[in-house]
Structure formats: C-alpha cells, structure tokens
Amino acid sequence: MSGLKNFFKRSKSVSHSFISPKLEIILGFKIGSPVYYELAFLHKSEHKTNAEGHPQNYERLEFLGDAVLGMIIANFLYHKVPEGNEGYLTEMRSKIVSRAHLNELGKELNLQQFLRTEDSSNQFGENVHGNLFEALVGAIYLDKGYPACESFIFRRVISPHVDISKLESKVLSYKGLLVEWCQKNKIQFEFVSDEDSGNDSIKHFTAKLFLDGKLIAKARETSKKKAEEKSARRAYYSLQKNIKS
C-alpha cells in the first residue's frame, strides 16, 4: 500500500484537485483516499510503475470492481427474487452486469473525462466505458468499504436501471439465441466475417449470416464479435414470428 502512495507522491503529472470535485458529485460522498481514484482512471499507456516497479493502471481495480459488483448484484437478486433458482439468478445477474450495460453506465456517468492516457481516447473501443466503471467500483470499495460501495451501486445501477420484469424478457445474446433456434430446428447456419475498414481510422468488420445457404442479415462493427451479434439481432427481428412460435 505504501508503494502505491509513494508512486503518486513522486508523479508530477498527478493532480488530485482535477478529479475530486467533479468525481464527488458522481459518487455522492467525499473521497477519503484520492490515490485509489487516480489509479482507477490511469490507462496502461501512461507506463507508470510504483516503488517496487509494478505496473500501475486501472486493470487491477477493474478486476476487483467486477467481483464486488457481481457480489452486490447477486445479493440483491437473492433477496429480491426468493423464488428464483440458481440458473435464473445467474442469468439475471449476467444481464445486469453485461458488458453492454456496463458500457452504458460508464457513458452515462461520463467517466472517460477523467481518463489519463498517452493515447487518443478515440482509439479505444466501447469497452473502455465499462472498464472504467468497474475500476471505479473497485476504488470505492478500497476507499470506503462494502456498505458505501453497495449504496453507490443501488443509487447508480439498481434503482434507475434494474426492472425485474423487463430483465426477464431482455435478450443477452441474439447470436446465442439464434444458434440455439437453428440447432433445435436443424437449420444450417454460418457467420462469414471479413475485415472492412474502408476509410475509417478504426478497424471494422462485416459479418454476414447465412441460414441454409441464404443470406439473412449482415452488419458492420468495430470487432468481429460485435458484427456477428448485430447481424444476429437483425436476423432475429426479421424471423421473430418463426423463432417465438
């Protein structure tokens, strides 16, 4: 712990004042140890190390925040839905802490404004928003403990965004849903993905979905996974009546 604090004392680029006032509005409480929040928004491109020579960036806090967030959501669901079995609770938790939802939360709080990086923020994909949110949760946990972290999650995640009835009908993965439907109905499916950057500075991919050899949908995104998911979603809505019957 002393090594972490010594690192920030030595770093001339760190300024607690530029983070604390704005961040405290988002947090809803006074920051106790600014060092954790500085770390929560430090990108690895800064190439910072502590006194022991260990890399310093938000990734370790992201790991911790992911675990704490999962615990808080699991505890909430356990008490909120007493009739839910393990499979149901696991699925609901996955929907709440999905990468897409965490990215939305990070955007909503505009956490990227605090990011310190040597690279242009335009080079980062959507996941940076969710990564910062998880790192922030980790920082809150280390600074204030579990109760304060739980209070923050309830105020920023559960109260405004978690509706059990809506979550039950939410599709976590259209690709998974479509693949399951195809396998059940013995329909041959194939995703064909190709790199398609065009004139964009960020690499893009185009994904085409074929069912029984017929092109059903296609989409373009910044990763192969995203492109396939988007094409599956488009296919799902075009085939919705067949899939639900």
Report the catalytic residues: 66, 134
User: Residue 129's closest CA among 153, 149, 105?
Assistant: 105
Question: What would the 3-class secondary structure string for 211-226 be?
Answer: ECCEEEEEEEECCHHH
* Cα 134 from Cα 117, distance rounded (Å): 18
Instruction: Return the C-alpha torsion angle 47, 53, 54, 55, nearest 10.
Output: 0
The b-or-e profile of 158-190 (16+ CB within 10 A means b, else e) is beeebeeeebeeeeeebbeebeebbeeeeeebe
- What is the 3-state composition of the chain as percent helix, strand, coil, each rounded to the nearest 5? 60, 10, 25
What count of other Cβ atoms lies within 10 Å of the Cβ of residue 209? Answer: 25
- Could you give the residue ranges of the DSSP H alpha helices within 41-191? 59-80, 86-96, 99-108, 127-144, 146-153, 159-161, 164-169, 174-184
Q: Are 73 and 97 in contact (CB under 8 A)?
A: yes
- CB–CB of 109/26 below 8 Å? yes
Query: For residue 191, what are the β-bridge partners?
Result: 209
